[in-house]
Amino acid sequence: MTAWKYSHFRPVVTRNRPMSDDHQKGHRERLKARFRKGGADALADYELLELQLMTAIPRRDVKPLAKDLIKEFGSYAEVISASPERLSEISGIGDNVITTLKLAEASAQKFAQGMVMEKPVLSNWQSLINYCSTQMAYKNTEQFRVLFLDRQNRLIADEKMQEGTIDHTPVYPREIIKRALELGSTAIILAHNHPSGDPTPSREDIEMTKKIAEAGKQLGVMLHDHLIISKSGHSSFKMMELI
């Protein structure tokens, strides 16, 4: 009888095995504990995504998917700001994941809105910048928004007036001032995004702003500022002495 060697019965060890249920549970609990203790600053972007993906895909190791999303889009903010159509192109992304990610974006926008709506924005400028950034910084097409203020410079409405292509949005000064009068607004702040990432005003931006300022002046609607928002930062016409 042939004697079998012990080595024949050794278990085969393979690399990249799926994470065991116990290991996965332990990993998730450690991640949650770090978040509870240190907040978002205690986690890398992909780890923050992991926490959210866990709720959408509860029975799977979602770390690889989280890393893939960061690699594809560049950052946490760009992932949650991506369109549902763009997200659905990524392998492993279904309706549950898309809903979870867009809920995170909506929560950020609602929080930022709550810090400025019906409050004096000129004395709370950074909150206004944060709000505009959550709304517009990561959009792939240009959109033009008008922030309508009352006599106490409280923000009473924020409306998207136009949306265009990646580098052009048609704007009509008369429509903006007409809407201000309808709302009883005595001052406005303009805001639009540059999907290119460069917040430098173009010549067209400057000319259009002057037209809106002049139209408003004739009817008692003051233009306080025009903000250009991008992924890399923002610019203020007021600070640049363009108005």
CB atoms within 10 A of CB 229: 24
Q: How confident is residue 36, by pLDDT bands cut at 50, 70 and 90?
A: confident
Q: What is the pLDDT of residue 20?
A: 56
Q: What is the mean pLDDT of residues 119-147?
A: 92
CA 156 to CA 187: how far, in whole Å? Answer: 10
Does the pLDDT at position 9 exceed 70? no
Residue with tokens 């930022």: 112
Q: Across the strands, what pairs with 223? A: 188
User: Would you place residue 167 in the very low, low, confident or very high pLDDT band (cuts 50, 70, 90)?
Assistant: low
C-alpha 7 chain-centroid distance: 56
Closest listed residue to residue 65, CA positions, set 93, 88, 103: 93
Q: For position 43, what pLDDT does the model report? A: 87
Residue 8: per-residue pLDDT: 42
The answer to whether residues 121 and 155 touch, using CB atoms and an 8 Å cutoff, is yes
- Alpha carbons 126 and 149: distance in angstroms, whole number: 17
pLDDT of residue 98: 95
Could you identify the residue written with the tokens 């300022």? Answer: 213
Of 112, 124, 201, nearest to 158 by C-alpha is 112
Of the candidates 100, 16, 101, 106, the one whose C-alpha atom is nearest the C-alpha of residue 61 is 16
- Rounded to two decimals, what is the model's pTM? 0.77
